[in-house]
Amino acid sequence: MTAPLEPPTVSEDDVESLTRYLLSFRWPFRNEAVHGILVHGGLPLWREVLRFVPNPRQRGKALELGSPPFHITLLLQKFRNYDLSLTGFAADGRPQIEQTLESPEFGEQYDFVCTCFDAEKERFPYDDNSFDLVTWCEVIEHLTENPVHTLAEIHRVLKPGGALVLSTPNASRADSIANFLAGRNIYDPYHLGAPLKGSRHSREYTYTELRDLLQGCGYTVDRMRDIDIYPPESRNRRAFRWLLNNVVRRVTKGRYRYHLFVRARKTDRPFRWYFPERLFDAGHLAFYMAPRDRTVVFGENESIHIAMGWGELATGPEGRPFRRSADVGDIYLLNPASVTTATVTLSGGSGEAQCWHDNGGDLVLLGSTRFEAPPGSWTDVVIPVSKDYEPGNQLHVRLDVPGGVAVARVTCD
């Protein structure tokens, strides 16, 4: 009796074996030509991603944002010691994407199940501090509105010390600059017929922009590189790349290689809702509010909870960050539970603090109190909230203070 053949050996350092492994998988409606293009074109990128993913001794938990078509998924489970939670986005509203991948050659079969949600707008369906690793590869450039929301949710579900591994094309890559100088378009073609809406690139990032965004939001950048993952198309392109990377960069301090790879970590510092002006138009940002918390700490999450008219962030008594309101300052909180009081931490002003419901245009005064908050120290002002408060409704805290007042914190209980 003939012994069964051993499956071929696969090594993450061997391009040929990796290519053979990935191309061996089959699934319903697989197109051989398209699969070949994806694997041959994507493998240089996926290998770099793998190099940035730590490999723990003890089994860890990892969240992969944007799993289909599962090539990085296959490599992660083959070469890294994690239990994977997979995600996707279904344009038709499906709550799950299910896909069976089978490789007869390697004797492997996987029934992948992706949880579907909008990572740019929705709360991730996972508990706080759940994962040792989150991978977010080739996704951020597709977002159309608010990558800070996604970074906030990644931060929430990561364990302290957990790693975020991110990859994205470099907006200032040499090839795009060469196309621009040659009078060619640097933008993606339309993806008409793509299964996912918004699949073309919406906003690419430079090295400096991406690093600033991550650090501004409270991550520590562990490792970051710009890498040319593809060879140049011609001798002229090779020479142009060399010129930018070895001469121009010394003057501009820019980064011109094709792709950006980052490993960042969650620290003990709280997440900060950071909207840098180079990424977000300040005029439009003034109208943006998305209250989600029952406690607002200035210097951390106030940006999404306050209306217009606030001063710049500064440091006050006891080293606490604050903003100063105008004559009228508005803060919006969100609490799914019942509320009996709201507490505002103030300094350097006197007036009236009020709580309102104002959803749907129906203004309901829930409580108010007069206060004196001397400068040089912080005063906690407690506002009573009546039983008319509806749990889950926005709680509007209004400060009516001639000359304004410094505010460090607002919470409701």
The three-state (H, E, C) secondary structure of 278-303, written as one string: CCCCHHHHCCCCCCCCCEEECCCCHH
- Residue 197, pLDDT score: 66
Helices (H) and strands (E) in the chain, counts: 9, 18
* Least confident stretch, 182-191, 248-257, 316-325: 182-191
The CATH superfamily holding the domain 289-412 is Galactose-binding domain-like (2.60.120.260)
* Least confident stretch, 318-322, 352-356, 382-386, 390-394: 390-394
Q: What percent of the chain has pLDDT over 70?
A: 97
- Residue 5, pLDDT score: 67
Angle separating helix axes 15-23 and 32-52, nearest 10 degrees: 130
Structure tokens at 39: 């694997």
Question: Residue 323 pLDDT more than 90?
Answer: yes
Instruction: Please give the torsion angle defined by the CA atoms of residues 139, 142, 145 and 146, in that order, rounded to the nearest 10 degrees.
Output: 10
Mean pLDDT over each residue of the chain, to the nearest integer: 94
- Residue 3, pLDDT score: 47
Q: Tell me the C-alpha distance between 52 and 223, whole Å.
A: 8
Question: Residue 195 pLDDT more than 90?
Answer: no
Mean pLDDT of 356-368: 83
Structure tokens at 393: 């409704």
- Selected residue with higher pLDDT from 382 and 190: 382
Q: What is the pLDDT of residues 95-151, one digit of tens each?
A: 999 999 999 999 999 999 999 999 999 999 999 999 999 999 999 999 999 999 999
Mean pLDDT of 352-357: 95
CATH 3.40.50.150 domain range(s) in the chain:
15-266
Question: Residue 1 pLDDT more than 60?
Answer: no
Q: What is the pLDDT of residues 104-119, one digit of tens each?
A: 999 999 999 999 999 9
* Least confident stretch, 28-32, 179-183, 236-240, 269-273: 28-32
CATH 2.60.120.260 domain range(s) in the chain:
289-412
Element spanning 15, H or E: helix 15-23
Question: Residue 196 pLDDT more than 90?
Answer: no
* Fold entry, domain 15-266: Rossmann fold (3.40.50)
